[in-house]
Each structure stands twice: as structure tokens, then as C-alpha cells.
Amino acid sequence: MVKAPRAISILSGGLDSVVALFDFIKKNPNGEVHAITFDYGQKSAEMEINASKKICKYLGIKHSVLNVKWLGKLGTSALTTDKEIPKLKISDLEDKEKCEKTAKMVWVPARNIVFTAIASAFAEAENAEKIIVGWDREEASTFPDNSKEFLSAFNNLLAIGTMSNINIEAPLIDMDKHEIVKLGKKYGVPFEFTYSCYQGFEKHCGVCESCVRRKRAFKLAKVEDPTEYMK
């Protein structure tokens, strides 16, 4: 009898991590998943946690919220300080220099390294073989900790640094946001439960980079966007 796979899902409640989670569940209907959501002092913490809780309740899977607020106290990210979050227009997404600049403004020091290391500890402790992440090609263009190189390097690290056979799976690693929306539509993802805004308002601000990428993704995918935007 084939053993049902166990996985730890790093879940923010946003499009990418939610679709990646659905991908695992659809491909492993008998699998077990423990989703973990991080509160690192980000402005959107409450909304991300609420979105993640809704998704996990919808799927009937275990969910834990982890307090790592010390991480948000490091550096000067606009996500965790009183600095203003940069605003963009859809046309700005084609300006790589501008996007690299805004990425630096919201960069949280070693965030994905910390998150993935903690998820690795959960995986080893719970005998999970997989860690599910929402890293994707579009994000990797400005955030190096979403890239194939980062994925490969971390999997090499796990092979050396753990006493278990743990593998990070990033099913969206070769996808842009609109392709992720299309996949989510195929899987029946309740997009209305997801949350992407950096600001943490009840409604999406509509002008932070995450909101703008979300808007464009639904538009390019020709999928109805259930999101309420302020602008």
C-alpha cells in the first residue's frame, strides 16, 4: 500500500501560496497537509491570517499561525515599518528597473530563508516529505528568493542538513501570475477568500505592487476578479 504523502504548506493567503496548496491537494487527494502562516509584524498580517484560516477551513486541513515578529523588526521594509508602501500602475510592471527599486523597498531580510527553514523543522518533526511553496517566475524577476536557483539551493541544503527525506515543491515555479489564476480557476480555488494587498486594509488598496499584479493577472487570464479594490 502506497503511503499517503504528508506536506507542510507555507500559506500567506495570497494567490500563489493558495493555488500551490490546491495543486498538492488535487494531485494527492489522500495526502495530509499542515498549513503554516507567519505573522512577522507585516501590515497585512491580520488579513493574511484571516484569508489563510478561510482557505484551511474550506479544505478541512490543519492550520497554525506562527509568531515571528522579531523578523519584522529587522531592516527597514515598508511592509513592517511606518514607511509608505510604493504605489504602481499596471504599465509600471513592464519597467524592470522600477520594479527592482520597489522590491527593495518592501524586502524583508531573508524572509523566505527564515520561513522555509521553519517549515523544514515542522516537516522533519511531523514526518512530512514535502514543503509546498508558492514561488513563481513572475515574482522571481525581482525577488531572488522565488527563483529556481533558490529552490534548487534550498533542496540541496535540506539533503545535507536534515535527517529526513524532505523536498520543497514549487508547482508554480515556471508560471506568471495570469497562468496561476488560470490554474486556480481549473482547481476551483475560491479566489474571494484570498488576500494579496500589502497595506492590510479590509479592501485591497489596488495600487501596491501586489494588488496591481493581482489585477493584471485576472485581466490577462480573462477570469472574473472577485476582489474589492479601493482604487
Q: Which residues are annotated as a binding site for Zn(2+)?
A: 197, 205, 208, 211
Are 65 and 49 in contact by the 8 Å Cβ rule? The answer is yes
End-to-end Cα separation, the chain, in angstroms: 53
Q: All 3 cell numbers of residue 45?
A: 498580517
Q: Which residues are annotated as a binding site?
A: 11-21, 197, 205, 208, 211
- Contact indicator for 148, 140 with CB cutoff of 8 Å: yes
Q: Considering only CA atoms, which of 163, 173, 118 is closest in space to residue 143? A: 173
22-42 burial code (b ≥16 CB/10 A, e <16): bbbbeeeeebebbbbbbbbbb
Q: Please give the annotated binding residues for ATP, written as ranges.
A: 11-21
**Side chain identity at 180, as an amino acid letter?**
I
DSSP string, 112-148: HHHHHHHHHHHHHHTT--EEE----HHHHTT-GGGSH
Contacts of 181 (CB under 8 A, 6+ apart): 15, 19, 191, 217, 218, 220, 221, 223
- Helices 15-27, 177-187: crossing angle, 10 deg rounding: 40
Residue (of 5, 13, 91) closest to 46 by Cα position: 13
Amino acid at 158: L
